[in-house]
Chain A
Amino acid sequence: GQNIDQPTEMTATEGAIVQINCTYQTSGFNGLFWYQQHAGEAPTFLSYNVLDGLEEKGRFSSFLSRSKGYSYLLLKELQMKDSASYLCAVNRDDKIIFGKGTRLHILP
Chain B
Amino acid sequence: ETGVTQSPTHLIKTRGQQVTLRCSSQSGHNTVSWYQQALGQGPQFIFQYYREEENGRGNFPPRFSGLQFPNYSSELNVNALELDDSALYLCAIRREVNTSSYNEQFFGPGTRLTVL
Contacts and interface: CB of A to CB of B under 8 A. Distances in A.
Interface stretch (A53-61, A63-71, A73-81, A90-98): A90-98
B33 A45 contact: no
Interface residues of B, number: 23
A98 B45 contact: yes
A50 B102 CA distance: 13
B33 A1 contact: no
A43 B35 CA distance: 11
A93 B48 CA distance: 12
A87 B56 CA distance: 21
Most buried by B among A31, A48, A93: A48
B113 interface: no
Contacts of A101: 41-42
Interface string B30-41: 000101000011
A64 B36 CA distance: 27
Contacts of B48: 95
Interface in A18-38: 31, 33
**Which size class do A's interface residues fall under?**
20 to 34
A94 B56 contact: yes
Nearest to A41: B109
Nearest to B105: A96
Contacts of A93: 56
Nearest to B94: A96
Interface of B: 2, 33, 35, 40-45, 48, 55-56, 58, 90, 92, 103-110
Interface of A: 1, 31, 33, 41-45, 48, 50, 87, 89, 91, 93-101, 103
Question: 7 nearest interchain CB pairs?
Answer: A42-B107, A98-B42, A100-B42, A95-B56, A101-B42, A48-B103, A98-B43
Given A42-B108, A50-B103, A98-B44, 13 more contacts: A42-B2, A45-B104, A48-B103, A93-B56, A95-B56, A95-B58, A97-B58, A98-B35, A98-B43, A98-B45, A100-B41, A101-B41, A101-B42
